[in-house]
Amino acid sequence: MKKTKTPVLYLGDTSLDTAASYLAGVMTHFNIGFDYIASDEAADQVLLDEAEYRLIILSDYPAPNLTMSQVERIVARVGGGAGLLMIGGWDSFQGSGGSYSGTAIEEVLPVWISPADDRMNCSFPCLVHKLEEHPVLADLPFGEPPCIGGYNRVSPKNC
C-alpha cells in the first residue's frame, strides 16, 4: 500500500481487484484521491495518525481489524469535521462479522446497529430507484438503475 496525501481513507471490500474496484473506479474517475486497505488487513496506524482524511469509508471492513486506539482516532476525526461513510455488507454494521454494534463507531453514525446479524439478503437482485434529487446522486448513472443483492437493517437515530 502506498502512502500519499489524499482526502479519503477507504477500508474494506475485499481487494481493489474484486469488490472494491467499483467504488475505487468511481473515485478515480472523479479524481478523488484515496488510500486503500483491504478488508482482510489491519488498518495502518501510520495512516490514521498522520494523514488528514476528510472522509473515512468503512465498507465490508470488520471492526476487529481496528484497535481501540484506531477507533478513537476515527471518532476524533469525525468529531473534528471529517465524514464517515459505512457501506453495507457482511462485515459492515453488525453483519456476520462487522461487529460495530455497541462501539464508538456506532455512536458517530446516524443509525443504531442491531446487536444481532442485521443482513437482509434478497432472493434476487433489487433495482434501486431514485425517488428524489440530491447533490450526492446528481452525477450517478440512474438511466440503468443499479441492483443490490441485500442490505443491512439499521434504525435511524433522532438527529
For residues 67 and 45, the answer to whether their CB atoms sit within 8 Å is yes
**Which stretches of 17-133 are DSSP H helices?**
21-29, 45-50, 68-79, 104-108
Residue with cell 430507484: 129
Q: Is 44 a member of any domain?
A: yes
Q: Is 65 a member of any domain?
A: yes
Residue 95: its pLDDT value, please? 84
Give every CB contact of residue 81 below 8 A, 6+ residues apart in sequence.
Answer: none
Counting as low any pLDDT under 50, the low residues of the chain are 1-4
Residue 159: its pLDDT value, please? 62
pTM over 0.85: no
Residue 153: its pLDDT value, please? 84
For residues 105 and 63, the answer to whether their CB atoms sit within 8 Å is yes
Q: Is 42 a member of any domain?
A: yes
CA distances to 91, 120, 149 from 83, rounded to whole Å, are 20, 26, 26
Residue with cell 432472493: 123
CATH of the domain at 25: 3.40.50.880
Residue 1: its pLDDT value, please? 46
Q: Is 76 a member of any domain?
A: yes
Distance CA 12, CA 43 (A): 10
Distance CA 61, CA 109 (A): 15
Q: Is 130 a member of any domain?
A: no
pLDDT in tens, 35-74: 999 998 888 777 777 778 899 999 989 999 999 999 999 9
Residue with cell 465498507: 59
Count structural domains, the chain: 1
Give every CB contact of residue 74 below 8 A, 6+ residues apart in sequence.
Answer: 48, 56, 66, 84, 105, 108
Q: Which residues span the domain enclosing 38?
A: 8-118
